[in-house]
């Protein structure tokens, strides 16, 4: 939906440049079949981090590529394992305010990196944009559509 909205705006708003390609991405965290999106408040962030403590979860990023003749989507998954976290660790992290705009209440690229004991898959997927898979898909699309 994000990519579609940007595409429409770039095609119709004379104040914006016309886009040849729009790429949208969104990441969610899944733990025990439950989607952990961005927490609404500190209590929800604390609850999410307690759930993830000492456990493995999956980060999924959906990517949508739009161009004049292309509507292509793919999903990349990465398994992330948290070390066991103390309540002090969790409370301090939440106090810093970082969890509130991040799926699963953490950002792997910030202080929460200290919580990660293992990762299986693409680090950049957890950050929110799986760069290598995106590059590979763009190359395939470019060759198929004879962009290059």
Tens-digit pLDDT profile for residues 129-138: 999 999 999 9
Tens-digit pLDDT profile for residues 28-53: 999 999 999 999 999 999 999 999 99
Tens-digit pLDDT profile for residues 104-146: 999 999 999 999 999 999 999 999 999 999 999 999 888 876 6
Which residues are annotated as catalytic?
Answer: 26
Tens-digit pLDDT profile for residues 80-106: 999 999 999 999 999 999 999 999 999
**C-alpha–C-alpha distance, residues 93 and 89, integer Å:** 6
Radius of gyration of the chain (CA): 18
Fold that domain 2-138 belongs to in CATH: Maf protein (3.90.950)
Contact between 111 and 89 (Cβ < 8 Å)? no
- Show me where the domains of the chain are located: 2-138
- pTM value is 0.86
Half-sphere exposure of 137 (CA within 13 A, CB side): 19
User: What local confidence, expressed as pLDDT, does residue 99 receive?
Assistant: 95
User: What local confidence, expressed as pLDDT, does residue 148 receive?
Assistant: 55
């Amino acid at each position: 939906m994000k990519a579609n909205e940007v595409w429409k705006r770039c095609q119709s708003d004379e104040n914006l440049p016309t886009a040849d390609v729009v790429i949208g991405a969104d990441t969610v965290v899944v733990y025990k079949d439950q989607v952990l999106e961005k927490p609404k408040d500190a209590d929800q962030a604390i609850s999410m981090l307690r759930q993830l403590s000492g456990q493995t979860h999956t980060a999924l990023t959906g990517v949508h590529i739009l161009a004049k003749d292309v509507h292509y989507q793919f999903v990349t998954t990465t398994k992330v394992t948290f070390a066991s976290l103390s309540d002090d660790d969790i409370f301090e992290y939440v106090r810093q305010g970082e969890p509130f705009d991040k799926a699963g209440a953490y950002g792997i690229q910030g202080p929460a990196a200290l919580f990660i004991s293992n990762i299986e898959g693409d680090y950049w997927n957890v950050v929110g944009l799986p760069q290598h898979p995106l590059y590979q898909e763009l190359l395939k699309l470019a060759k198929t559509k004879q962009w290059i």
